[in-house]
Amino acid sequence: MTVSTSSGYVVFDKVEKTYDGRVLVVKSLDLTVARGEFLTMLGPSGSGKTTTLMMLAGFETATGGDIYLDGSKINHIPPHKRGLGMVFQNYALFPHMTIAENVAFPLRVRNINKADAEAKVRKALDMVQMSDLGGRKPAQLSGGQQQRIALARALVFEPKLLLMDEPLGALDKQLREHMQYEIKRLHETLGITVVYVTHDQSEALTMSDRIAVFNDGRIQQLATPDELYEKPQNSFVAQFIGENNQLRGIVKDISGGRARVEIGNSDVIEALAIQAESGKPTIVSVRPERVEIEPMSSDIAATGRIEEVIYLGDHIRIRMNVFGNSEFIVKVRNGSGRRGFAVGEEVKIGWSLQDCRALDV
């Protein structure tokens, strides 16, 4: 069976997965990935993102629903016949083979002739800037070099789709950040479709065209990185993507897309009514970098008592008690010209209504 490719290059149509016949780890998933897109599945452990990737790869079978690749249903096609490249966190290189032999392995199992295979291996190693290390064994390479080889091996046979499962999780912070840019560069150069799994939100924001945020077997929000960060649609997304202040309260009333929220016993502030209902509990969300200290003017004003000041180089992180919440964070850009801050000091703070969202509890 085929579906229209105009609906997407990869399509999950009401896909479900259970391992025990009772608990669904993926729940009625509808997801479309465009040709040439870099889509990241992001979420905490147990959210269903890796299971979804494994069903696309063919290593897990969907309990319900259908999966399509380039218009054709692939539910019952074995992994080696799906034409997919795959990169894992542990690299999965063969220790007894040279680098060139490792990269050539997918070509060998596809019976590509030796001359063509050698040309493809050279091209793949050039692509990841490792052409001079073809004669070495994996144990002679660093973690970052091994990951580049794993990437070259996944790309050498020019797959339809590249799947990546936490590929940078074993690398140190600096190397991980470098590899993020390398993978993104390759994606842009080759125009290949990539589906990437990670629990690291900064990694997802850096690399992706769109991000599907998973929790409890469902996609909570699917959007571009900037939209996810600036316009979270629920409290889980707001808290999982970046740092976020949450003020709990009760919605007094809603008018013109604005919610008036009572925080504590008497303080009332306004927020955009994203997921809010009059008379019901809500969480008011505002990013730490959107809060100003001693602003010239602001839509929402409050007083905060400084509890902690941490110097972090490019910015200063200030923890305050605001409306009874002692974990309220404000980030002040270093070099902004503001004076020093002292623990115990009370300061005026404020933020824009557009940066303040009333979300579900």
Report the pLDDT averaged over residues 214-232: 96
In this structure, are residues 159 and 191 in contact, taking their beta carbons and an 8 Å threshold?
no
- Angstrom distance (rounded) from CA 272 to CA 275: 9
Which of 181, 206, 230 represents a domain boundary (last residue)? 230
pLDDT score of 17: 97
Give the number of other Cβ atoms within 10 Å of residue 237's Cβ.
23
Contact 105, 94 (CB under 8 A): yes
Global pTM? Answer: 0.89
pLDDT tens digit sequence for 281-313? 999 999 999 999 999 889 999 999 999 999 988
Q: What's residue 336's pLDDT?
A: 66
Flag whether pLDDT at 32 surpasses 80: yes
**Residue 69 sits in the same domain as residue 190:** yes
Instruction: Please indicate, yes or no, whether residues 326 and 193 belong to a single structural domain of this protein.
Output: no
**Residue 109: predicted pLDDT:** 85
Q: Is the pLDDT of residue 6 over 70?
A: no
According to the model, what pLDDT value does residue 1 have? Answer: 43
Report yes or no on 207 lying in a domain.
yes
Q: Is residue 118 exposed (0-12), middle (13-18) or buried (19+ Cβ within 10 Å)?
A: middle
State what percent of residues in the chain have pLDDT above 70.
97
Using CA atoms of 219, 220, 224, 230 in order, give the dihedral in degrees to the nearest 10: -170
Q: Which long-range contacts (CB under 8 A, 24 or more apart) does 131-140 make?
A: 133/99, 134/98, 134/99, 134/100, 134/103, 135/98, 135/99, 135/100, 136/98, 136/99, 137/95, 137/96, 137/97, 137/98, 137/99, 138/91, 138/93, 138/94, 138/95, 138/97, 138/99, 138/102, 139/95
Domain co-membership, 193 together with 275: no
Residue 171 lies in a domain: yes
Residues 114, 261 share a domain: no
Mean per-residue pLDDT over the chain, rounded: 91
Residues 90 and 113 in one domain: yes
Mean pLDDT value of segment 176-184 = 88
For residues 98 and 65, state if they share a domain. yes
Residues 6 or more apart whose Cβ sits within 8 Å of residue 119: none
pLDDT at residue 339 is higher than 70? no
Structure tokens at 63: 């309990």
Domain of residue 292, CATH code: 2.40.50.140
pLDDT confidence tier of residue 171, bands split at 50, 70 and 90 = confident
| 238 domain-assigned | no
pLDDT of res. 190 = 87
Q: Establish if 281 belongs to a structural domain.
A: yes
Tokens matching residue 70: 């380039």
Same domain, 254 and 224: no
CATH number (domain holding residue 180): 3.40.50.300
DSSP codes, 183-246 = HHHHHHHH--EEEEEES-HHHHHHH-SEEEEEETTEEEEEE-HHHHHHS-SSHHHHHHSS--EE
Q: What is the mean predicted confidence (pLDDT) over 257-269?
A: 91
Q: Are residues 180 and 263 in the same domain?
A: no
Q: What is the mean pLDDT of residues 241-259?
A: 94
Q: Which domain holds residue 108?
A: 5-230
Domain total for the chain? 2
Residue 291 lies in a domain: yes
Residue 96: pLDDT band with limits 50, 70, 90: very high
Band of pLDDT at residue 3, cut at 50, 70 and 90:
very low
Q: Are residues 204 and 276 in the same domain?
A: no
Question: What digits encode the pLDDT tens for the residues 311-332?
Answer: 988 889 999 999 999 999 999 9
Shared domain check, 247 and 225? no
Q: Establish if 236 belongs to a structural domain.
A: no
Res 5: pLDDT: 46
Of 182, 203, 230, the last residue of a domain is 230
pLDDT band at 197 (very low <50, low <70, confident <90, very high): very high
Residue 160 lies in a domain: yes
Asked if residue 256 has pLDDT above 70, the reply is yes
At residue 90 the predicted structure's pLDDT band, cuts being 50, 70 and 90, is: confident
Q: Strands, E, within the chain: which ranges?
A: 10-18, 24-33, 38-42, 64-69, 72-73, 84-87, 161-165, 193-198, 210-215, 218-223, 245-255, 258-263, 267-273, 281-286, 292-293, 300-311, 315-322, 325-333, 346-351, 357-359
Examine the domain organization and report whether 267 and 327 are in the same domain.
yes
Give percent of the chain with pLDDT exceeding 90.
72
Task: Please tell me the predicted confidence (pLDDT) of residue 47.
Answer: 95
> 201, 230, 259 — which closes off a domain?
230
Distance CA 353, CA 150 (A): 47
180 and 306, same structural domain?
no
Q: How confident is the model at residue 2 (pLDDT cuts 50, 70, 90)?
A: very low
Q: Residue 237: inside a domain, yes or no?
A: no
